[in-house]
Amino acid sequence: MDFKNILLEQPEAGIYLLTVNRPKALNALNAATLDEIAAAIKKVAMDDGARVLLVTGAGEKAFVAGADIAEMQNATIEQAREFSEKGGRVMHALEALPVPVIALVNGFALGGGCELALACDWILAAPNAVFGQPEVNLGIPPGFGGTQRLPRRVGPARALEMLTTARQVKAEEAVAIGLANHMHPASELRAKGLDAARTIASRGPVAVRLVKQAVQRGGNLDLFAACALETDLFVQAFGTQDRKEGMTAFREKRAAKFRNR
- Active-site positions read 115, 135
Pairing between β-strand 169-170 and β-strand 15-20 as defined by DSSP bridges: unpaired
Q: What are φ and ψ of residue 23, in 5° steps?
A: -60, -30
Pairing between β-strand 108-110 and β-strand 101-105 as defined by DSSP bridges: unpaired
Q: What are φ and ψ of residue 97, in 5° steps?
A: -55, 135
In the chain the beta strands, taken as DSSP E runs, fall at 6-12, 15-20, 52-57, 62-64, 101-105, 108-110, 122-125, 130-132, 169-170, 182-183
Pairing between β-strand 15-20 and β-strand 6-12 as defined by DSSP bridges: antiparallel
